[in-house]
Amino acid sequence: MNGPLRVCYFGAYNPAYSRNAVLRAGLRHCGVEVTECRVSPRVPIALRPAALLARFAGLGRTRFDAFVVAELNAEVAWLARLLGALRGTPVVLDIFFSKYDSLVHDRATEPGWSPRALALRLIEAAAVRTAHVVLADTAAHAAYYRRVFAASRTRFEVVPVGADERLFHPPAAPKPSSDQLVVGFWGTYIPLHGTETIVEAAALLRDEPIRFELIGTGQTFARTAALVQRLGARDVRLLPPVPLAEVAGFARRCDIALGIFGTTPKAARVVPHKVFQAMLTGLPVITRDSPAARELFRDGEHLVLVPPADPRALAEAIRRLHRSAPRRARLGQAARDLARRRFTAGPIGERLALILNGLAGRHR
């Protein structure tokens, strides 16, 4: 192939959102020319095709080797496919996660037979089945898409979530010693996070010198806050959401980071941003055991896995780490080493660039 690979990153997305930020930075790290054809996700869905067409027209006759449709943009994947067909350019869809699955099964805010849910399922199925390649964050998630969207003929490639090493890195100086261990969580309080399990574990550890700090808000926040009061979990602090850069600073002040502990089907298929972010910071991480977690990590070597919705198991895992600073240090270093090798923009970009180069070569 002559010259660098040229990619049109397409859709209504927030360029600061971790998923697409890592993918775009990774591609550029590999020398790929990334042109963004983007509108704000605040643009109503019905108006997005016209807005994107206007953006695309402004790019002139630039030839691209691939379109990459950003996460949560199944509704405009058809437009990328149409533009790609007109120019002989293949389309890669980063499905990342399914809005249908999140609304119906994870957040349970829509019944599966509602018009909105049915429309989302049809739109996502069409997008998945017509893309040349679909990116999934785990093999477990790819298997779900094949089954639910009847996409057995679709080519799926696994590209993990990863994290931005420019933001998430160990503190410049050793943390000052403290009599109290800080256990941190950050997130949007969706059901798969299982924040109630964290509070229940904190209540079991109320007599230990351990402080829990949870950053964020969302669907289950009110239930979580009520549980803090009911259980008298006096060492749990519920803190408001902050920008990602401040989350990174918060992580550097923690001693242990928590992942997810929910029991929804989606919770078994994903490894969220926060796990990779904490690993890059050099923190020992505790998260729920799942097929997705075991795809990427070894329990006891890279992090600690506990059964979902099991506050006693979580409390015991925290207690053991609390009592062994050397084990915390070993886990944190192993986590950071693995994350730097496999889950930063560089290695993730190399993985995606390899996929795109092979795809573009077949369409030349």
**Each residue's pLDDT tens digit, 294-336:** 999 999 999 999 999 999 999 999 999 999 999 999 999 999 9
Domain check: are 185 and 298 in the same one?
Answer: yes
Parallel/antiparallel/unpaired status of strands 304-306 and 285-288: parallel
Domain check: are 204 and 158 in the same one?
Answer: no
Domain check: are 244 and 256 in the same one?
Answer: yes
Residue 167, domain member (yes or no) = no
pLDDT at 174: 78
Gyration radius of the chain over CA positions = 21
> What is the overall mean pLDDT for the chain?
95
pLDDT at 3: 76
**pLDDT tens digit string along 226-236?**
999 999 999 99
Domain check: are 321 and 196 in the same one?
Answer: yes
DSSP labels, 279-330: HHHT--EEEE--HHHHHH--BTTTBEEE-TT-HHHHHHHHHHHHT-HHHHHH
**pLDDT tens digit string along 159-202?**
999 999 999 999 987 777 777 999 999 999 999 999 999 999 99
CATH number at residue 209: 3.40.50.2000
What phi and psi, each to the nearest 5 degrees, are found at residue 47? -95, -10
Angle between helices 345-362 and 325-342 (to 10 degrees): 30
Domain check: are 77 and 192 in the same one?
Answer: no
Residue 27, domain member (yes or no) = yes
Tell me the C-alpha distance between 247 and 168, whole Å. 9
For the segment 127-144, the average pLDDT, to the nearest whole number, is: 96
Domain check: are 145 and 187 in the same one?
Answer: no
What is the Cα 191 distance to its own chain's centre?
A: 15
Q: How many domains does the chain have?
A: 2
Domain check: are 307 and 352 in the same one?
Answer: no
Residue 171, domain member (yes or no) = no
What phi and psi, each to the nearest 5 degrees, are found at residue 226? -65, -35
User: Any idea which residue has 């890195």 for tokens?
Assistant: 169
Q: Tell me the residue range of the domain where 56 lies.
A: 6-162+344-362
Domain check: are 158 and 192 in the same one?
Answer: no
Residue 238, domain member (yes or no) = yes
Residue 168, domain member (yes or no) = no
Domain check: are 194 and 70 in the same one?
Answer: no
Q: Are 35 and 65 in contact (CB under 8 A)?
A: no
Residue 283, domain member (yes or no) = yes
Residue 39, domain member (yes or no) = yes
Tell me the C-alpha distance between 297 and 292, whole Å. 9
Residue 35 has pLDDT above 60, yes or no: yes
For the segment 274-303, the average pLDDT, to the nearest whole number, is: 98
Domain check: are 79 and 190 in the same one?
Answer: no
Domain check: are 142 and 203 in the same one?
Answer: no
Domain check: are 128 and 51 in the same one?
Answer: yes
**Rounded to 5°, angle at Cα 227 from 315 and 214:** 65
pLDDT at 271: 97
pTM: 0.95
